[in-house]
Amino acid sequence: MSENKTAKPIVEMRHISKAFGPVQALKDINLTLGEGEILGLVGDNSAGKSTLMKVMTGAYQRDSGDVLVSGKPTHFKNPHESREEGIEMIYQDFALCGNMDIAQNIFLGRWPKKGLFVDRNRMYAEADQVLKRLKVDVNSVFQKVESLSGGRQQSVAIARAISFNPRVVVLDEPTANLSVMATERLLETMAELKRQGVAQIIISHRLTDIFEVGDRIMVMKRGQNVGDRYIQHTTEQEVLELIVSGTPETALTADQALAGRAA
């Protein structure tokens, strides 16, 4: 994996805070994602990982802080607005319609038209192109989604996101409940996206997966950043220690941690 130290930031989140009533879900947290970078976002179930991503995409509104995309300040009111800026989020439930086929799911709600009617030839041809771009192997774009394995369904969800030509894709627990083989295929898809210049954020409890495809890993705890490391210069053990005992006061950026090792 590339360390990506010089990658130009495509997304910057600065001093983000978010509360739900008396519960402080995010507290003065920063996140930077470089162009074409794969960032793993880890922490326990109450760390605030999904909340931070929903603030990024506009599903939640932040209480304070700034979000910049390609250096431009933004304030997305909903995920549709973040999609227009090239940010897609794929949730754990995939949000697919099982009784529809693969192509219909990829273009759900925006089927290409020819006059007043759906241009089915174009829809199936473009769906096939998206799957080939991701190197996803399916029997046919006419296949019903409900007949697919969990791994294949995840690939269809990614294909739908990619059909919008995003610059950033966020995946929430993408390998949860997948078989070993399905996980390997999905990680290959992520690597292919990286080769095509698509930046990714992976929320996951499976450190092994992040270490296989990631460039950098950020650890959250109680809505705060407690550590940031380059994958090439850390270990799963160090990350686990940060998850358990890391604090905002002792948190280092990936560059600071790397400089400390070199000192």
Instruction: Decide which of 163, 195, 218 is a domain's last residue.
Output: 163
Q: Give domain status of residue 21, yes or no.
A: yes
Same domain flag for 182 and 77: yes
Give the residues of the chain that fall short of pLDDT 50.
2-4
Same domain flag for 82 and 107: no
Number of domains in the chain: 2
pLDDT digits (tens, 9 = 90+) for 54-109: 999 999 999 999 999 999 999 999 999 999 999 999 987 788 999 999 999 999 88
Instruction: Decide which of 111, 133, 163 is a domain's last residue.
Output: 163
Same domain flag for 203 and 254: yes
Same domain flag for 190 and 215: yes
Query: What residues make up the domain containing 181?
Result: 9-86+166-262
Residue 15's region, left for phi above 0, alpha for psi from -120 to 50, else beta, is left
Same domain flag for 238 and 209: yes
* Residue pair 17/26 in contact by the 8 Å Cβ criterion: yes
Q: Give domain status of residue 93, yes or no.
A: no
What's the pLDDT at 263? Answer: 58
**pTM of the shown model:** 0.87
- The CATH number of the domain where 79 resides is what? 3.40.50.300
Taking the C-alpha atoms of residue 219 and residue 229, their distance in angstroms, rounded to an integer, is 9
Q: Give domain status of residue 189, yes or no.
A: yes
In degrees and rounded to multiples of 5, residue 49 shows phi and psi of: -60, -55
Instruction: Decide which of 148, 163, 178 is a domain's last residue.
Output: 163
Same domain flag for 174 and 247: yes
